[in-house]
Structure formats: C-alpha cells, structure tokens
Structure 1
C-alpha cells in the first residue's frame, strides 16, 4: 500500500514514467509546473475521490447507474428552451453524420478529407442562401463563441471600443462575450422597452466612439425585433457596425437580418438537425457580405471551390488561409482550434432535406404555435405575458398575480409529467414551443397549469 498507485486508465502514472518525464523537462517535481498559481488558490491536499474502479466491468456498471439517473421527457410534454431546443431531426441526418469518413475524420485535412471539405462547403452555401449573406464560416464551438467573435470583429474593423447591446441576451451568452472581449471592448447594455430595443435610447447613446450595435432577434425571451432596419441606419450614421444574433430555424418566415442592414450575423445551428442531447450539440456560425474588411477579420476557417488541372473537375479547400491562427500563429487575431465541423455537416444535410418550402413550413408552424400557446396560457387566472412583443418559439409568463411562484409551478407540473419551462425569475417562467409541440400538447399544458393554480388557491382558502 506504500507504493504509488498506478492508474489502469491514465497513462504515465507509473513512478518510473513520471520521473522520466520530469527528467526530460528538468523539473524536480510536478509542483514546479504550478509555481505561477498563487498559494491561496491551490487546494493544498489530495482530492477527496472514491477508490478507483480497477475492473472494466465494475466501471461499466458504475457509469450505467449514473446514466440511468437521467429522466427522459416525452417530446410533447417538454416546453424547455433557453438556448437548447427540441426540434425534429430527420433520421437521415444521423445516418449521414455517423458515416466513418465524417464521424472519425479529425478536421478534414487533405490527407483524410474523403468529402468533408465538400460537405462543409455545401453547408456554408446553404447557410449563405438562408441568411442571404455571401460568406459563412466553418462552425465555431457554439453560438456563444460566434457572438463573442462577432463583437471582437466589430472592434477590430472599426478601431473602436464601445458596443451597445440593445436586446435581452441569453445570460450565459452575455457572460461568455463579456469575458472574451473585456480587453478590447466596452460592452454597454441599453435596457429594452416592452421586450424589444428602445430605439430612442439607443440613438441617444450613439457617438463617434461606438463600434457596433448588437441586436438579438429572437431575443432570450423570444421577442422579435421590429426596428432592425432603423438600428442599422443609426449604427451606419456614425460609422458603426450592426451585429445581429439570430436563430436560422425561423428564417423561412422571418426577413434575414442582412436584408435589413446587418453587417455581421451570428447564431447557433443547434436547431438545424442537432438533438438536445442533455444540453445540446451546439455549433456557431458567423456570416458577412463579400467585403474584404469583414472576411479578413474572420478568424475561423472558410472552405471554397476551385477548378483543377482536369477540365470539369473541382476541389475544395481553405480560403484566405493566411488570415487564420494556423498560419499566423501567435500573431493571429484569435486562436481557432478544433471546431464543430461535424455539426456543420449535420446542418447541411438538414437544410438540403428541408429545402426552401420546408423551412417556410417549420417557421410558420413554430410561429403559429407560439402565438397559440401564449394566448391560452395567458388567459389562465393570475397569468399574463411579460411583454406585448411578437414572439418566436419562446415567451415569458408572469405569475405575479397567481398564488404560486415559478419554481412552485415547475415542481407541480413535473409531478404531472411536464417540463413547463425554465425559471427566469421568482414569478417568471420562460416557455418554449417548437414544431414538436402540437396544439393538443399545448392544451394539455394549459390544463395542467390551470389545475396547479386552482389547487394552490383551494389550499390557500
């Protein structure tokens, strides 16, 4: 028992292996690697971990028990959203991305491409058509990263620091962006007015130091911005950029932000053929017009089409590779590492299957069911909508006049087999409706919410 433990799954834990590595780098012990970490930030003791499971079958059983703690929710009885959405995924999407040439290829380099470059080029082309933008990047890690990079790009392009956020952004997204751009951007929040941008307040805060106006439509609460064109004009009047965050699932029925004056459009493609998967498969996109000032500020990879020496034959590969961190190394504008290219292929398959009419159909379905759900739920006693904006997929219920709080309502509905939404305030619940929620599902939710309110009132009496 006095011998150091050699872990069965972690390499180089044997004492002789550890010593050989220390000797190779000239270190006396592992602690030297953490010399720059202040002592008060170190734990100062071993982690309190359970004994290792040295037999593979024991580990398999342990992990199986952990996974069995997950509780699946029937699609029609879940109204969860807030960034990860339960949209329908055609079976062929999973079939294609599970092909070995896509699933196991690391990044799609020429030596193991096998069609990966072409698939991502087609994804970019389909996204470009949907967004009505000329250039779309190979996916970033997620939509949060796409937002942060878009804001950073605006600062680099204009040489200015101030960016005005004029929408209710996802709190986690906002946290990511703030952390990412803090050294170069001063992000200022302009409070919304009844769910959407307060145009007068935004215009009053614009000046020659403003790099960009950042709009989210739909916003975190699902509100659709109606003044994108006016915000674009206001931004451009002072030499600033309009950045718009959006969700591509709605662009079959909603006007693309680029048509309203957006310079940079970003978002997440999770809604395009990617499952929720306990938090989602996420990937971000950034789209710009064919303007060198913008294209050369994109840090992520772009794939293009080029002719070859063989007439009628074409190849696919990097465009403007010299602007990436792969080429510039420490001089790169941002570091770009392993991206979410597989999810780009999934989204490309989804878009090709849906086609223009399919995107119209899914957009209309979500828009109409969102409106229906908002109407029937806000008609319940003590329940009202938090604002009067037009909403897509999500909206907030205000329970101030009800006798139960949002957490209490969630607990009551879970007991009835529903996930009614995400608590965003003591008296506020964010409800999400997708094409997976039928009118019957929505009616069942309304009945369950009404019953919970009635039970609370009866108990209070």
Structure 2
C-alpha cells in the first residue's frame, strides 16, 4: 500500500490505513525548491520567533470513537426548555415553523450558490425575487437587493453609499451613540479606509435620540442613521422629525430596522427613509450562535440611489419566447465589473438565509406578521413590568424585545447566580456604556413564556 506523509485512523487487520487528504503533500520538497527555499523553516523565517508553535495534536481516533466523544460534549448543552434565556441584544429566540427548514433543504435551494449563469438558475432567482418583493412591502421602499451579509455590514455599506453619492464632498455619517456596539465596530472598520467621519448623538431622558444635539451635528453630513427599535429596545417616537432634520441639512436618511416590528409600526419608507437596512434572519432562521444572517438593503426608486446599491438585484422580465424569466438586473460588485467601478466587495450573499426568511414571511402573511409583533410587544411589556420590581428601569418609553434594567449589585455576579439556577440572564451593557452603571438588557420574544419571566423575577429577588 502506498505511503504518504499524512495518515489518519488506526489499524485495520494489522495494516495502517493510508489517507492522502492534502493534495501534493508528497511533493513538498520539490515545491520548496521551485520557490527558492530549502525548508519549511526558511519559508517562515520572517515570522517572529515564538509565533509558530507545535500543535501537539492527539493521536487520531476512529469515527465511532469521535461520535461517542462528540455526543458526550453535546450532552452538556441545555435547551431553552431546560434553561430559559433572556439574552437578546441583537440575537433572539424566535419560533421557526418546521416547513421552513424542510423547504430550504430542497436541493435546488440548499446547493444553489451564486447564480453566475442566471438563465439556468430560474428557481433560486425567483425565490430571491420573492424575497425582495416581500421585504419591499415590509419596509415601504420599492427597490431591495438580495442580500447583504448581516445588519452590521448593510449599515456600513449604507454609510459608504451616502458618501459616494456626494462624490466625497461630504464624509460625515451621524449615528446614535447607543447604536448596537457590534454594528458600530463594523462601521468603523468599513469607514477607516475611505476616511468616513463618524459623529455620534446622545440620548434624551426617554432613551431616544436627542434632537437638539442632532441639529447641531447634522450640518455637512452625508447621512444620518437611526435604529428601530434602538439598542436599548426602545421605539423612537420622532422618526419622521429626524428624517426632516436630516433632509433639511441635505443628507440622506438611513433607518435600520428589526422587521418583526413592522406589523405594528409604520414602515420606515413611509416615515421618510431614503435607505433602509436591517436583519432578515429574524424570520425563518434559528439563532445559530449569532450567524449566518442576511442583511436587508432597500432604497427609494431613484436611479442615483439604485446605481450605487451594493450587492445584486434580481428582476423579472420575458425571454425570447415571451415567457416569464428572472434575471440579475444589477450586480455592481467587483467580480462582475472593473474593481474601481464596483460599489462593494461583497461576494457571497446570504441567499439561503434570505430564502428561509421569505418562506417564513409568506407563511405568516400580513395578519400573521401583525400578530407576531403584538405578541412580542405584550411579552416585552410584561417582562418590563416584572423587572421593575427588582431593578431600576432608566428609560420610560415603549420597548420592543429588549428592556434595559439597572441593578445595585454588580451584574456579572447576578448573571452567574442566575446560571446556577438554570436561567440565562441578560446582556451586560456596562462595558459599552459605563455611564449606565450595572445595567443589562433582558429580552422577550413571541416564544417567551409567562412562567419563565416569573421564575426569572423570583431568582432575581434572591440574588440581586
């Protein structure tokens, strides 16, 4: 039996099984000579000493041994029924109907990658067209792409887009100080190269955008961004006024939205938004440890906005025989045009996540989406009421999903005590906003049970 450098497995009938998993590994010395090196050490000579370490990997195991070991590790996990979770802050436990997973596991969806030959990818193109149509109806803007990586990258791409629309004459992008910290980190990363100036605006006594401060800082801005609901879980009451202030300054108004709220509030497009971004994965997708996601990106029906959109747009037309056909109407990304002309370097979009979201939205329909929002709002209100018994609610406004509560005792100690009682607490916000003190965000969705909230409050009374 031929021997290779890399082996896996143990012995079978006394014979070592050879597995050649890495291509051309037997030609290592020849490849090194070809590129002018005598050894692997010479190849990595520029790497500082101490940075390259031996992995000291254990001996290989049989497939059944690995199966047993992994199941032992997995048995340590606890389901939501065993440990109710109130950890929100951008990732939420929503119920996903069984048929959504069944449908996206069909091979034409599950194995469909970027449709480089759209004429032979009619199924996935139609599904993405339906996704665009559903999101357009939800957000109140007619042109939607399919899609971005997640909410954070969609927001950052919107910032880049507003600057491009001013041809670099305006480089300031105004955001609330209390924008989701992870999205802020993405924005700073995306904006570092083009030199985008990020200006922040604080909050008022209700935990909403301070309009007077916005009026001072909006001058010369390319865009203004807000979120609905904001990071504190609060629904902004003055979105239309914020849009008017933005437009009076000649800037573009960008709204980030959790689409599960759109059954009970006005669509951002109807409130004056020029660009809407958000997270489509709240429909049809489990939490997945925070990913993958699918970022929403929608704009007004304005050619100058449409031409600057990142990603791709799927359109419907007719073929040479007059039959309905779906095509890539716009794909201004670096893989398809000259890199200098590309609006974005986004390559693989989140097509499967978007299709799952479309299936879920279509299944709910207008009535179902409204009822979903109503149930979440009701559960959030109950959670907020009960939390006020054990901590301080710093902002009195309408909350959706997340509720900010402040404690006297250090929250990490409270959190550990909750875990010991099989309850997963909220998201600690002091590292991001130290001025709020020992505060945490607790979240509720349509899946939150009354008995879970009651158990949480009883536990908090014991430990806080």
Q: Which of 161, 180, 191 is the equivalent residue of 1:181?
A: 191
**Contact map agreement 2:139 2:262 (CA 8 A) in 1:** yes
Within a 5 Å distance, the mapping from 1:38-437 to structure 2 comes to: 39-40=47-48, 43-53=50-60, 55-74=62-81, 77-109=84-116, 110=118, 113=121, 115-158=123-166, 159=168, 160-184=170-194, 185-194=196-205, 195-207=207-219, 209-311=220-322, 313-321=323-331, 323-331=332-340, 332-380=342-390, 383-400=391-408, 404-425=409-430, 427-437=438-448
**Contact map agreement 2:156 2:187 (CA 8 A) in 1:** yes
Distance change (3 Å), C-alpha of 1:89 and 1:444: same
Distance in structure 1 (CA, Å) of the matches to 2:449 and 2:278: 26
Deviations 1:321-357 (A, max 9, x none): 3x22222242223212111100000000001000001
Deviations 1:404-459 (A, max 9, x none): 32122222222222112122226112100000013333223222222334xxxxxx
**Contact map agreement 1:154 1:211 (CA 8 A) in 2:** yes
TM-score (norm 1): 0.88
**Contact map agreement 1:133 1:258 (CA 8 A) in 2:** yes
**Displacement after TM superposition at 1:34 (Å):** 6.7
TM-score (norm 2): 0.88
Tell me the matched-pair count: 440
Q: Which stretch shifts more, 385-394 or 328-337?
A: 328-337
**Contact map agreement 2:134 2:358 (CA 8 A) in 1:** yes
Distance in structure 1 (CA, Å) of the matches to 2:95 and 2:87: 14
Distance in structure 1 (CA, Å) of the matches to 2:202 and 2:42: 48
User: 2:11 matched to which residue of 1?
Assistant: none
Distance change (3 Å), C-alpha of 1:33 and 1:241: farther
Deviations 1:139-163 (A, max 9, x none): 2222111111111111111231111
Unaligned runs of 5+ in 2: 9-18, 431-436
Q: Which stretch shifts more, 60-69 or 327-336?
A: 60-69
Unaligned runs of 5+ in 1: 454-461
